[in-house]
Structure 1
Amino acid sequence: MLKWGIAGTGQIARAFALALNRAENCRACGVAGRRAEKAAAFAAEHRVERAYSSVEQMCADPEIEAVYVCPPHPFHAEWARCALKQGKHVLCEKPMALGMEEIHEMQRLAREQGVLLLEGYMYRCHPQTAKLVELLKAGAVGRVRSVEGAFSFRSEFNPASRLFDPALGGGAIWDIGGYPLSMANLVAAASSGNAPVRPERLEAVGVWAENGIDLLSTALVCYPAGIVGRLTVSLTSTEDNSLRIYGEGGKIVVPDPWVCDRVNPPQGRILLTRSGEAAEVIEVPCDRTSFTLEAEYFASLAAQGKTDAVFPVMSAAETVLQNELLQEWERKAAGK
């Protein structure tokens, strides 16, 4: 039973607390945030055993074995380092950090301490993703040529909100761009082996608010195997958030690729159309949310003494690639 501390008290922390309370091999032992009173209220509301006055105090508690890091983006690296220096396993919400130097430092600390450090892309732990990888490896649609993915929703512009505040890492690319980008990376890796594949080229355009954050953006990525990804993120409109993969012998459509329902276990569903044939509907049942599956998978790795994930869950090497590409996406979208 892995004993968790939650570093953060926002909406995603609430989802993870619920996930821990439903997990078979996890226990929600502590919570801390930027304000002690919020941590106390969080603990009482979400069945967390203890609230701490600070993240430092929680990380120093020998009973805490793993820390889920989920504050606003600029605090990810600081709080993760705090936990790692105390020898805690760390599951860090995406993006792991806003700078590559911070990510390399976090990974160095994890290696030195012999602990597990993963970036939280929970959809990678859902059986629907494993089924998608299985289909791609089996050549279900022949040689893959393109992938289209989006993550979008409409939110009223509010410069005080985390989503729109540049000081808090706001903007569509950093907040949600990791989803379609990581999926394109997954498709490229599954189509040519399991190792991360760096695109040969990335181009992007975007629309920017007056305060300097991106409201929406589209990126084109081209992988060495001849796979082109068309990726869109938006905070201004809700678009088609499905995943579409086109191969020389057919197509795959995943209506809900991110399976991100935080309360009810999302059921997987894949539509496979081989050339000249009717669409085949592949149902992928699941009895847990992606967040619970993520927590349980992380706990199983920690129990085995593992210090990295196995594909399709995001590995340390893929985290480096992913965040380098997010930085490039932002630069290209800004015309730099």
Structure 2
Amino acid sequence: MTAVRWGVLTTARIAQDRFLPAMQKARNAVASAISSPNGRAAEVAARFGIPAVYESHDELLADPNIEAVYLPFPNGLHAGWIIAAAEAGKDVLCEKPLVGSLADYSRAVEACEQNNVTLMEAFMYRFHPQHQKVREFINSGRIGQIVSMHARFHFVMNRTPGEVRLQTGLEGGAINDVGCYAIDIMNMVMGRAPSSVFAKGTSPTDTVETTVAGILDYDGVIGTFDCGFEGPRTHTLQIIGTEGHITLDRAFDPDPGDAARVTVSLRDGRSEIFDIVEDQFKVEIERFSTWVRNPGHDVVHRELTEQNLAVRLAAHESRASGLPAAIRAVQPFEHHRLLQEQ
């Protein structure tokens, strides 16, 4: 298979620190263009051997050589650039969370379906083999029936002027930035969304929530999470079963070359430890590039994307009201239909 030719829109930190280094290791993908209006694209291109540099994203999207694009924009800009990329005929890998509203989800999905391009939310953690190991233990019954789960993701944010994750207009805040991981992984473990969520958060900046805790009710299984921008970096998952529990010490973002540890502890006192090394960004890029060469998908991981959006919307509703909020299933074009009926 010939390598898929990628374009990267913006010189965002995640593109430089994780995506482009992983792209250099990918077997079926190559970074062919990068764009940025801030004048930094040429320097980044030189560092990563990217041949084409554009001062505007529209110019990159117009390049017929580019087959797929990576969009690491601030959350609130995702929908617009997904649509622009789809209309340019590019397959789209967009950073998480894909969008923050039902309206934007409908618009983005519709644009990709009309233009026959693949769209995926870039939850890179899903591609780390530690989660395959977790699924094997659950499916084999090693820990019995799942009783509860707890996920957490914290880091200390540099509060630089203009920090996009602290801006409501760009859909910032702890729920969208790191809570989305905790929500997503519990939905992935359970294979479904919860029926309700109860979320509480703090907002010392009076703009967005910077620390959040929540309870997800999976009708017989309770999932809890906490996340935020105030505490030392930690990203863990624990799954409690009737016969044992599974613990992940780096559930979401182990550094390249560092082992992610999966620990299985059983009721009889036995335990097993597995240290797994993989660059999940590389796996994500290779998998998506394979899908580009084998089209026919609509939204890859569509159910997980829709479940995540539904829970985040309910979590925001619960935090605002102080009460539990029911999870309402996301239908891609329901928002458009309701508007037409009004």
TM-score w.r.t. the length of structure 2 is: 0.88
Q: Which amino acid aligns with 2:45?
A: A
- The alpha carbon displacement at 1:166 in A equals 2.4
Quick one: which of 311, 314, 317 aligns to 2:303? 317
- The alpha carbon displacement at 1:113 in A equals 2.1
Quick one: which of 15, 40, 54 aligns to 1:52? 54
Q: Which amino acid aligns with 2:204?
A: A
Distance 1:11 1:230 in 2: 30
SS in 1 for 2:184: helix
- The alpha carbon displacement at 1:12 in A equals 0.9
Q: Which runs of 5+ in 1 are unaligned?
A: 190-196
SS in 2 for 1:178: helix
Q: Which amino acid aligns with 1:284?
A: I
Residue of structure 2 equivalent to 1:192: none
Quick one: which of 19, 22, 26 aligns to 1:19? 22
Quick one: which of 264, 267, 283 aligns to 1:272? 264
Report 1:30-109 matches (<5 A): 30-35=33-38, 37-109=39-111
* Cα deviation 1:239-274 (Å, max 9, x = unaligned): 65321100111111111111342xx23323211112
Residue of structure 2 equivalent to 1:304: 294
Q: Which amino acid aligns with 2:135?
A: V
SS in 1 for 2:235: coil
Q: Which amino acid aligns with 2:258?
A: P
Residue of structure 2 equivalent to 1:236: 230
* Cα deviation 1:6-39 (Å, max 9, x = unaligned): 012111111211111111100100111343x122
Distance 1:56 1:265 in 2: 35
Residues 103, 33 of structure 1: alpha-carbon distance in 2 compared, 3 angstrom cutoff: farther
Distance 2:187 2:30 in 1: 32
Distance 1:56 1:74 in 2: 18
8 Å contact kept, 1:207–1:216: yes
Q: Which amino acid aligns with 1:61?
A: D
Distance 1:84 1:6 in 2: 14
Count of matched residue positions in the alignment of Structure 1 and Structure 2: 319
- The alpha carbon displacement at 1:5 in A equals 0.4
Residue of structure 1 equivalent to 2:157: 155
* Cα deviation 1:30-65 (Å, max 9, x = unaligned): 111343x12222212222221112111111111100
Distance 1:240 1:20 in 2: 26
Q: Which amino acid aligns with 2:71?
A: V
- The alpha carbon displacement at 1:126 in A equals 1.0
Q: Which amino acid aligns with 1:279?
A: S
- The alpha carbon displacement at 1:164 in A equals 1.9
- The alpha carbon displacement at 1:83 in A equals 0.7
Is 1:256 equivalent to 2:250 in the alignment? yes
8 Å contact kept, 1:148–1:231: yes
Is 1:331 equivalent to 2:317 in the alignment? yes
Residue of structure 1 equivalent to 2:197: 202
Distance 2:287 2:233 in 1: 31
**Paired-residue identity, %:** 27
Residue of structure 2 equivalent to 1:193: none
- The alpha carbon displacement at 1:104 in A equals 1.7
Report 1:108-257 matches (<5 A): 108-158=110-160, 160-189=162-191, 197-224=192-219, 226-238=220-232, 240-257=234-251
SS in 2 for 1:111: helix
Residues 255, 210 of structure 1: alpha-carbon distance in 2 compared, 3 angstrom cutoff: closer
8 Å contact kept, 2:234–2:250: no
Distance 1:78 1:170 in 2: 16
8 Å contact kept, 1:69–1:76: yes
Distance 1:334 1:277 in 2: 44
- The alpha carbon displacement at 1:156 in A equals 4.7
Distance 1:136 1:266 in 2: 24
* Cα deviation 1:60-103 (Å, max 9, x = unaligned): 11110000011111111111111111111100001111222111
Q: Which amino acid aligns with 2:251?
A: P
Q: Which amino acid aligns with 1:325?
A: V
SS in 1 for 2:240: strand
- The alpha carbon displacement at 1:198 in A equals 2.2
TM-score w.r.t. the length of structure 1 is: 0.90
SS in 1 for 2:230: coil
SS in 1 for 2:206: coil
Distance 1:103 1:42 in 2: 31
- The alpha carbon displacement at 1:167 in A equals 2.9
Distance 1:73 1:167 in 2: 9
